[in-house]
A and B are shown apart, each in its own frame.
Chain A
């Protein structure tokens, strides 16, 4: 089982460039999430999607957009990258919305550097 797959694993961008992080899960989960992890900050939720066709903002949504393409795929787009968006990005999925009882399954992360 692949679980949660993220691409790319590494990316270097220049300020102002755009890019999309891709995420796919094969566990038939309804809910998907994008987090960013910075040193000393833990994980912060950027956006989440409770189900296909719905998305909601998390703690730090500014500068990002998301698309829930179908039940399997949830992409994160940076329209105009800034150095402050240098981070490790994690996609996750869960069976139950809002993770009230469901555990999250994480991808391996996408390491983004913005110069």
Chain B
């Protein structure tokens, strides 16, 4: 990827557990965004964290940003079956929003 890469590529956990996904990027950023994609659907914006923020919460989502390590993490707490989806980070590169390859999250009942 030219900018962001998610890790792991796939993650399978039991319902109720927490899920953590990581994103690494290469250049300085103004902000980093996370998106979710359910199978066969378009992407949906989850959360945006600015470069001067270290942590941000939205419901069961917690995003952290470490600009010194050029990395971000997305934590989903108390996972549900409906959280099964692919998750993408996105950053601006060459004045365009570019996406990583995504983490495929499966929540097992």
Footprint of B on A, CB under 8 Å? Answer: 4, 33, 35, 40-43, 45, 48, 58-59, 90, 92, 94, 98-101, 103-109
Contact = CB atoms under 8 A, between A and B. Distances in A.
**What are the 8 A-B residue pairs with the smallest beta carbon separation, nearest first?**
A106-B42, A99-B97, A103-B45, A42-B101, A43-B99, A106-B43, A98-B95, A108-B42
A42 B35 CA distance: 12
A109 B99 CA distance: 16
A4 B43 CA distance: 11
A103 B88 CA distance: 13
Contacts, number: 63
Given A98-B95, A98-B97, 16 more contacts: A35-B99, A41-B101, A42-B102, A43-B43, A43-B98, A43-B99, A59-B96, A90-B42, A99-B92, A104-B97, A106-B42, A106-B43, A106-B44, A108-B42, A109-B40, A109-B41
B9 to A, nearest CB: 9
Contact of B48 (A35, A42, A101, A106): A101
A42 B92 contact: no
A37 B39 CA distance: 13
Contact of A104 (B2, B30, B45, B50): B45
A17 B36 CA distance: 33
Contacts of A105: 45
Contact of A42 (B42, B96, B100): B100
B52 interface: no
Given A98-B92, A103-B45, A106-B43, A40 B97 contact: no
A90 B99 CA distance: 13
Contacts of A107: 42
